[in-house]
Amino acid sequence: MFENLSERLSAIFKKLRGRGKLSEQDVNDVLREVRMALLEADVNLQVARDFIKKVKERAVGEAIWDSLTPAQLVIKFVRDELVELMGSSNEKLTIASQPPTIFMMVGLHGSGKTTTTAKLALHLKEKGHRPMLAATDVYRPAAITQLQVLGSQIEVPVYSLGDKQTPLNICLGALKQATQEGRDILIIDTAGRLHIDEELMRELVEIKEKIRPTEVLLVVDSMIGQDSVQMAEQFDRSVGVDGLILTKLDGDARGGAALSIKSVTGKPIKFVGVGEKLTALEPFHPDRMAGRILGMGDVLTLIEKAETAFDSQKAQELEQKIREQSFTLEDFLEQLRQLRKMGPLEQILGMMPGFAQAKGLKDIQVDEKEMAHIEAIICSMTRDERSEPGILNSSRRRRIASGAGLEVSDVNRLVKQYDMVKKMMKQFAGFDRPGKGGRKKMMKIPFWG
């Protein structure tokens, strides 16, 4: 996400880092390039102008050309204004004092509204809530079935009366049932349209007036750029919107919608969709996103993902195995599976500070198939073979390759990788041995392949 903008800004700031003091003209030249980078990223023209104006005002106020580290100050000003532009802080969902809390999902066809409805339900379920979904899209073929399938995958009930009832009646029935069952969250998946029309808006206004949702959440496809900003304005004028969820942000190299929509509409971005998986929904943190854009990484989100994916007890067991140098292919597989829970590896790498600027690293391509091949190979082994790869003779390797649907060379490569990991683990174990200066604390880190 934001790949194009991130690369442009990195190139602009790279020129500054070797400079000493900056003149006012130097600052003007840099900000002109930043403005062009924003426009190329499909940021709203007025938003880009205001952004540059605010950065320049701060630069003048701080007398940047007299600073000992002018480049760092310019970058800091740009980062601070990016954060402000996107909303300054994370806006949490409003939870009603009297349950159930009702979230009304609205948006156009193709924005990913139904899938996002399920993602939001899963997110809230993992936070300890008891959500229910209401399928009110009686117009789009198979829309109700789609929500029911998604609901079964995340084990959240879906209320439906089929496609013969009106959306309002379905909402009223869902609210009654959610109250009876003690559900504290009701998420209504309303019907979308190919374009905004009066009929759609009248239906949404009627539902809102009768149901009185806690929040109306507009699902926006970030890939359509400035069109999404205009669409958000129209929805807010006609229905009233409390928050935004940007979908497909992982596929948007420009990011103009994310950078413009809060400033233009005044409505906060609450979540972003960063993948197809039902777990690929993240609370939107403007400060963290600004860090990603400027190549500073997003360590906090990385830590949160790691804490969710990695089992603390298993981490302690792994630490003990490293101490005893008894790390097996079973452990190798377990660490690989936990790492994959964190999401696509390219996204994880992108959260690491400096990764985008590192020479030779920013173009790295993580082959998810290779990870699947490793899992298939290990799963094709017997328990003894996983525990003691030294017994893997040529006939065993041929059998494993056949079972995994791969070549013997693939098995050989995995065994070689495992041997390298064993050597690395032996080095880690050395950190815990008494030596000159006393006992050193062992590094507690998960194995990441």
Last residue of a domain, one of 260, 293, 326: 293
Residues 283 and 316 in one domain: no
* Residue 349 and residue 434 in one domain: yes
Q: Which residues pair with 215 in a beta bridge?
A: 103
Choosing from 62, 86, 110, the residue where a domain stops is 86
Q: Which residue has the tokens 């990195």?
A: 10
Would you say residue 91 lies in a domain?
A: no
Give residue 382's Cα distance to chain centre.
Answer: 37
Token pair for 126: 């993992």
* pLDDT in the model for residue 306: 54
Is 449 a member of any domain? no
CB 134 within 8 A of CB 174: yes
Radius of gyration of the chain measured on its C-alpha atoms: 26
**Same-domain pairing of 126 and 58:** no
52 located within any domain: yes
The count of domains in the chain is: 3
By three-state DSSP, how is residue 439 classified? strand
Please indicate, yes or no, whether residues 172 and 321 belong to a single structural domain of this protein.
no
Successive 10-residue mean pLDDT values, the chain, 449 residues: 75 71 76 87 85 82 56 78 83 92 92 93 94 92 92 95 90 95 95 79 92 94 79 88 88 70 87 88 85 62 54 61 68 72 61 49 56 86 87 92 91 85 63 45 38
Residues 283 and 350 in one domain: no
Runs of H (alpha helix) within 62-112:
70-86
Contacts of 48 (CB under 8 A, 6+ apart): 35, 38, 39
Structural domain includes residue 298: no
92 in a structural domain = no
Sign of the CA dihedral with 408 first, then 413, 419, and 422 last: negative
* 254 plus 310 within the same structural domain: no
| Contact status, residue 165 vs residue 112, Cβ threshold 8 Å | no
Give the CATH number, domain containing residue 322.
Answer: 1.10.260.30
Q: 283 preceded by cis ω (within 30°)?
A: no
Q: Is 444 inside any structural domain?
A: no
Residue 25: which residues within 8 A CB-CB, separation 6 or more?
none
Residues 389 and 287 in one domain: no
- Whole-angstrom distance, CA of residue 190 vs CA of residue 247: 17
Among the candidates 86, 111, 140, a domain finishes at 86
For residue 190, the model assigns a pLDDT of 93
Residue among 139, 247, 142 nearest 192 (CA): 139
Rounded (10°) CA dihedral 166, 172, 176, 182: 100
| Residue at 396 is within a domain | yes
What CATH number corresponds to the domain at position 271?
3.40.50.300
Place of tokens 């130097």: 26
For residue 219, list its beta bridge partners. Answer: 245
Which of 170, 182, 272, 176 lies closest to 219 in space, CA to CA? 272
Asked if the structure places residue 448 within a domain, the reply is no
Question: Are both 172 and 312 inside the same structural domain?
Answer: no
The CATH number of the domain holding residue 67 is 1.20.120.140
- In the numeric block, the tokens 């005002």 are attached to 57
Phi, psi torsion values for 355, nearest 5 degrees:
-65, -45
Pairing type for strands 243-247 and 215-221 reads parallel
Q: Do residues 229 and 368 both lie within one domain?
A: no
Burial status of residue 434 (CB atoms within 10 A of its CB: 0-12, 13-18, 19 or more): exposed
The three state secondary structure string of 302-341 is HHHHHHHHCCHHHHHHHHHHHHHCCCCHHHHHHHHHHHHH
Q: Give the structural domain span for 284.
A: 101-293
Q: Are 19 and 232 in contact (CB under 8 A)?
A: no
332 shares a domain with 274? no
Residue (of 96, 154, 161) closest to 121 by Cα position: 154
Q: Both 190 and 43 in a single domain?
A: no
Q: List strands edge to edge, sheet with 158-159.
A: 158-159, 131-135, 185-189, 101-106, 215-221, 243-247, 269-273, 281-283
Regarding whether 126 and 76 lie in a shared domain, the answer is no
SS3 of residue 247 by DSSP: strand
